[in-house]
Amino acid sequence: MRTRARFRLRVDPIACDGRGLCAELLPQLISLDDWGYPIVRDTDVPPELAWDAREVVKVCPKLALHLEHSPPPP
């Protein structure tokens, strides 16, 4: 059986400036810490949020957000 490709969001912490746009647009997957830096949920992006996730990656002003293939399940 062919399974759907799985992706997750990852922040490049060096590039990230804590603008917070991502958490505004995708609160389902991204929250902010006490200093305004994004905490990304460490799970696969659910299919219904795939479009939003791609948008958020595109609008990050520091290009610090990436979509990556999820690690293979153990």
Partner 1 sequence: MPRPLLPPPASVAHTPVGLGPPPAPVARLLGGPPLVGRTTLDEHLARFGRLPCDAGDLSSPEELIDLVGRSGLCGRGGASFPTARKLAAVARQPGSAIVVANGTEGEPASSKDKVLLARSPHLVIDGAVLAARAVGAAEAIIVCHRAVRELVDVALSERRLSRIDSIRLRAATGADRFVAGEASAVVHWLERGVATPTRTPPRLAERGLCGRPTLLQNVETLAHLALIARFGPEWFRAVGTEAEPGSMLVSLLGAVQRPGVYEIAIGTPVGGVLEVGCGAVAGAQAILVGGYFGTWIPFETALRRPFSRAGLASLGAGPGAGLVAVLPADACGLVETARVARYLALESAGQCGPCVSGLPAIAGELEALASGGPFNLARLQRWLGQVEGRGACSHPDGAVRLVRSSLRVFGYELERHSRGRCCAPPRTEVLPVPALPR
In the complex, which residues of this chain contact partner 1 (CB under 8 A)? 12-14, 16-18, 33-37, 39
Beta carbon of residue 73, minimum distance to partner 1 (angstroms, whole number): 20
Contact 50, 7 (CB under 8 A): yes
Six token digits for residue 25: 């647009």
Closer residue to partner 1 (CB): 33 or 55:
33
- Three-class SS of residue 14? coil
Q: In whole angstroms, what is the distance from residue 19 CA to residue 21 CA?
A: 6
User: CB of 27: closest distance to partner 1 in angstroms?
Assistant: 17
Comparison of 15 and 59: residue with beta carbon closer to partner 1: 15
Cβ atoms of 67 and 6 closer than 8 Å? no
As beta bridge partners, residue 56 has none
Q: Which is nearer to partner 1, 13 or 73 (CB)?
A: 13
Closest approach of partner 1 to the CB of residue 52, in Å = 22
